[in-house]
């Protein structure tokens, strides 16, 4: 499927569609119109139709969408069936919490291992996933070929660890370091979770009231 020039705003809305459809599917809803889906999500029916039209033809005029089908299609567009192999780099508090709480497999990621430099963490397991010595990463990557890394290392080493991971073939970073990372290698993607930006946005909106 060709999908060039899909705007960032549309891409950011796709996971939200997926989340709503997944909920509806779980609740046993079989069919939904764009207007009732929009009503739930707080967007217009025409916005939904326009967003989805970037990726092909979905639903039937007057009949709405088949929830299970649309969920599967959007999941496919998002790559939930792509079986990405992901590693956690930095198994401190936050890395540990993500390993415990976040269900990577629900959205198609296989969490293979975590890496750290702390002797207290190396050799432990978190939620059944081994924490390995960062020094073993090169050997691990050569056989296991992880393609995505959760980066939860201290910000002082964020870029240097990222550089090392890029050399080992990592092409996607879920970046929690609060540092904006860059890559000399083309095609490497960074998805930043900037906690402080998020809380500052809330701070602004509280005052605006």
Could you tell me whether strands 172-175 and 189-192 are parallel, antiparallel, or unpaired per DSSP bridges? Answer: parallel
Closest contact distance (angstroms) between CB of 189 and a second copy is 4
CB nearer to a second copy: pick between 19 and 31: 19
Closest contact distance (angstroms) between CB of 60 and a second copy is 26
Say which residue the tokens 């709480």 belong to: 101
Q: Binder to a second copy among 62, 106, 120, 143 (CB under 8 A)?
A: 106
Say which residue the tokens 């990405």 belong to: 84
CB nearer to a second copy: pick between 143 and 196: 196
Could you tell me whether strands 109-116 and 84-89 are parallel, antiparallel, or unpaired per DSSP bridges? Answer: parallel
Whole-angstrom CA distances from 120 to 19, 68, 125, 132, 135 are: 37, 45, 11, 11, 15
Could you tell me the maximum CA-CA distance found in the chain, to the nearest angstrom?
Answer: 62
Closest contact distance (angstroms) between CB of 178 and a second copy is 8
Part in contact with a second copy (CB under 8 A); list of ranges 43-51, 63-71, 94-102, 133-141: 94-102
Q: How far is it, in rounded angstroms, from Cα 148 to Cα 188?
A: 10
Q: Which residues bind a second copy (CB under 8 A)?
A: 3, 11-12, 14-16, 18-19, 77-80, 82, 84, 92-94, 96-98, 100-102, 104, 106-109, 147-148, 171-174, 178, 187, 189, 191, 193-209
């Amino acid at each position: 499927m060709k999908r060039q020039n899909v705007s960032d705003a549309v891409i950011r809305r796709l996971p939200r569609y997926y989340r709503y459809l997944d909920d509806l599917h779980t609740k046993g809803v079989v069919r939904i119109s764009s207007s009732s889906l929009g009503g739930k999500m707080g967007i217009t029916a025409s916005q939904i139709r326009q967003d989805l039209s970037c990726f092909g033809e979905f639903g039937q005029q007057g009949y709405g969408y088949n929830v299970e089908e649309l969920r599967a299609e959007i999941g496919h567009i998002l790559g939930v069936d792509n079986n990405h192999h992901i590693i956690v780099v930095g198994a401190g508090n936050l890395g540990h919490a993500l390993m415990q709480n976040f269900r990577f497999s629900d959205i198609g990621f296989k969490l293979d291992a975590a890496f750290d430099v702390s002797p207290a963490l190396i050799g432990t397991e978190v939620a059944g996933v081994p924490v390995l010595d960062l020094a073993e990463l090169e050997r691990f990557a050569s056989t296991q070929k992880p393609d995505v890394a959760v980066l939860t290392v201290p910000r002082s080493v964020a870029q240097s660890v990222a550089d090392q991971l890029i050399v080992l073939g990592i092409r996607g970073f879920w970046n929690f370091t609060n540092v904006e990372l860059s890559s000399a290698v083309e095609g490497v993607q960074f998805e930043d979770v900037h906690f402080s930006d998020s809380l500052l946005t809330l701070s602004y909106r509280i005052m605006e009231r």
